[in-house]
Structure 1
């Protein structure tokens, strides 16, 4: 296999054979193919696309470039969920323990913040001692005792994806649907899953802002996942406003605990979490119908079983044994808290959701460069859903900032990202569509 011939054929719009793709991806994984050829390959795929069969072959080759986990002796279906990311999207923190309490094994490989979207790993690192890269024995012990482990991608899992993504990030090829599909699914396949549920976001706070492009990505993920032997289904959900009422790492952990204590009933995020839990139970065969899965998820939430699972997972991965009972002992507060109030009466008609995610980064809660540290304390709380009636002076949000000046500056910016209108807006359903 000559790398330049693979690049030429794809450049000229030809369909690559599975062994050509496998050889090229193996070369990425073992370092025998350099960054210039990786960049050229990524650009040809970005411009010319791939057939579903080519994308399946690339996904499987990326999976096989490193370790593939297995779960021998597991008496519970192995399942996971992946989200394309959004602002205030801390669904994984609640969904993984709910699914575990419902009888699933959930080895969830998560990521850090990307662009304006928050990262599950950054949120969990708000918790003192939490290990996002445990050794194999700790991972297995955590899964056995808690039923779920939310961790990061290790160097051993799909290493070809790591090299390819690093090049994509600097060559304007991140938004290629075949490359996105293979990147997501190769890591999930390497985790040894039996089924996968996808949460593809759309709206002004998502990477895919329009429904057509979000559906195209979801269809690619579902078709390639199933083509690779992994039962996969997807749900499109709305990200035109922050999903949780809190944004920011430690603040979203606090929100997750409140959710699992039953304090977020009736919210948009509860709708999403319970729907995805039902999807996971149905896809894995743990529920005979979506309705039965939904009822089971609601019951473990109400009973406290899901909160118990989260506490077990945190402790097994190095966090405090009493974290869920006493989170205030461990989650550092921000030095400054400042209320942001409505300048006039009306209805909350919309959010500039992406800009709110970028505001968090400017406050120190995200990264400008990969090597940057982040301030887990900063963020927003008490955000209110679109359609809420407010009077002048009513609270719109509470800012948690590192300094008085930072709080005042952020408050002025945030006020411009919340639109208040005289008339009540049309509401958008948070569950948009399904692709199976």
Structure 2
């Protein structure tokens, strides 16, 4: 028997763990014989000591096998996209139905927020009635009938990862390249995918703030995934400012609805969404060239087919059937709204600080058991280079005291001055030609 504390000690002291040790520890995470403290200690040891490629593969495989591994029999490729997390990153909500409208099947297993970043699952949980944890049979039926379903990790899918994921959020170990790789891929491999596209964020609002770290993570995920037989490509995308002008759970759902219906399509958000979607279609064999893929995605938006797919997905998972037509009727609204203005041009924004301000409003967690207020956050967030006198954003808060703190945090996140020329939204492409 491999005692958890001995496995932790070995990694703490810089030793390489064999596959048996990693499998034993993951089994303990699954059956509860590993305590929360031991899980936290293991995460910290990995954070400081790192894992070799074989250790990373072993951890990924063990977590994949800790629960159900889905099998599909569908007339099109089973595809997914995953983001390492950012601020105002509601791309998954729009992208899954767009790809489904183009002939892909998207069983997206998403996580809750980590650190200062928002979680797709928390966003969807703000939709009244939406079941973020259906049983595997229901999940598979909805993917087959609708074309896409975005859910969270159920007890059956990668349960060991679900437990370690929650611990990472509150122990300062979110940024570990090894843990990120194993966490993402264990869920994706358990979902039975044919193809995966990674969105690795880079910048002040990302876990990776330097290009070398972002590239290392992207390459790690592509290498481990391809080694496991999963066709994978990655983009490194800019997160030096919130991707969308909205940050907060229900607010980002409303933003995604606006995007799908054409009420609002901001250029950078649109560029990242199209680029990721084009890679998904190409990885899945649904488009031969980037231009063909982009044209198909644009057509899914223009025809209303993507919005229809989103609406059907929400209804199939228990949400309101008319959410797309009447989002204001269903999404929760904060009682306090306050515009925040500042004179002078904007030189830069600390996207991480904006994400932390959302948590400060109650829109994120500081402990695994914390609840979330889905109503709170920011809309109308300004981007660097916008004109003087424009608003920095609009605060959505539960009360005036929270709004005061959020306003101060938002002001502190922005720096006045002349903005340098903006960089590209897509920094680098890895894989898929």
- TM-score (norm: length of structure 1): 0.92
Q: 1:367 aligns with which of 365, 368, 379?
A: 365
Report matched runs for 1:103-122 at 5 Å: 103-122=103-122
- Other-structure match for 1:404: 400
Is the contact between residue 136 and residue 156 of structure 2 (CA under 8 Å) also seen in structure 1? no
Distance 2:256 2:167 in 1: 34
Is the contact between residue 110 and residue 152 of structure 1 (CA under 8 Å) also seen in structure 2? yes
- Other-structure match for 1:298: 298
Report matched runs for 1:60-75 at 5 Å: 60-71=61-72, 73-75=73-75
Q: Which moved more, 1:146-155 or 1:26-35?
A: 26-35
Is the contact between residue 141 and residue 316 of structure 1 (CA under 8 Å) also seen in structure 2? no
Report matched runs for 1:224-239 at 5 Å: 224-239=224-239
Relative to 1, partners in 2 of residues 1:175 and 1:356: Cα closer, same or farther, differing over 3 Å?
closer
- TM-score (norm: length of structure 2): 0.92
Distance 1:358 1:170 in 2: 14
- Other-structure match for 1:150: 150
Q: Which moved more, 1:323-332 or 1:267-276?
A: 323-332
Q: Which moved more, 1:205-214 or 1:168-177?
A: 168-177
- Other-structure match for 1:378: 376
Q: 1:388 aligns with which of 366, 386, 389?
A: 386
Distance 1:336 1:47 in 2: 43
Per-residue deviation, 1:12: 6.0
Is the contact between residue 115 and residue 170 of structure 2 (CA under 8 Å) also seen in structure 1? no
SS in 1 for 2:427: strand
1:258-306 superposed Cα distances (whole Å, 9 cap, x missing partner): 1011233451100000100001111111111222111111110111110
Distance 2:33 2:286 in 1: 44
Relative to 1, partners in 2 of residues 1:427 and 1:55: Cα closer, same or farther, differing over 3 Å?
same
- Other-structure match for 2:315: 315
SS in 2 for 1:25: helix
1:152-210 superposed Cα distances (whole Å, 9 cap, x missing partner): 10111112223444555565544332222111111111111111111111111111111
SS in 2 for 1:117: coil
Is the contact between residue 336 and residue 403 of structure 1 (CA under 8 Å) also seen in structure 2? yes
Is the contact between residue 96 and residue 106 of structure 1 (CA under 8 Å) also seen in structure 2? yes
Per-residue deviation, 1:350: 1.0
SS in 1 for 2:58: helix
Per-residue deviation, 1:49: 2.6
Q: 1:353 aligns with which of 330, 351, 358?
A: 351
Is the contact between residue 339 and residue 393 of structure 2 (CA under 8 Å) also seen in structure 1? yes
Distance 2:189 2:298 in 1: 28
Per-residue deviation, 1:22: 3.2
Distance 1:246 1:37 in 2: 37
Per-residue deviation, 1:362: 1.5
Report matched runs for 1:130-141 at 5 Å: 130-141=130-141
Relative to 1, partners in 2 of residues 1:47 and 1:415: Cα closer, same or farther, differing over 3 Å?
closer
Relative to 1, partners in 2 of residues 1:13 and 1:110: Cα closer, same or farther, differing over 3 Å?
same
Structure showing greater Rg: 1
Per-residue deviation, 1:332: 2.7
Relative to 1, partners in 2 of residues 1:166 and 1:389: Cα closer, same or farther, differing over 3 Å?
closer
Q: Which moved more, 1:236-245 or 1:334-343?
A: 334-343
Per-residue deviation, 1:407: 2.8
Distance 1:295 1:349 in 2: 35
Distance 1:217 1:51 in 2: 13
Report matched runs for 1:204-219 at 5 Å: 204-219=204-219
SS in 2 for 1:70: coil
- Other-structure match for 1:187: 187
Relative to 1, partners in 2 of residues 1:360 and 1:28: Cα closer, same or farther, differing over 3 Å?
closer
Relative to 1, partners in 2 of residues 1:411 and 1:226: Cα closer, same or farther, differing over 3 Å?
same
Distance 1:43 1:333 in 2: 38
Distance 1:28 1:93 in 2: 30
Relative to 1, partners in 2 of residues 1:375 and 1:287: Cα closer, same or farther, differing over 3 Å?
same
Distance 2:150 2:86 in 1: 18
Per-residue deviation, 1:94: 0.4
Distance 1:402 1:173 in 2: 30
Relative to 1, partners in 2 of residues 1:75 and 1:330: Cα closer, same or farther, differing over 3 Å?
same
Is the contact between residue 116 and residue 358 of structure 1 (CA under 8 Å) also seen in structure 2? yes
Distance 1:220 1:157 in 2: 22
Distance 1:371 1:121 in 2: 15
Relative to 1, partners in 2 of residues 1:174 and 1:378: Cα closer, same or farther, differing over 3 Å?
closer
1:214-266 superposed Cα distances (whole Å, 9 cap, x missing partner): 11111111111111111111111111101101111111111111101123345
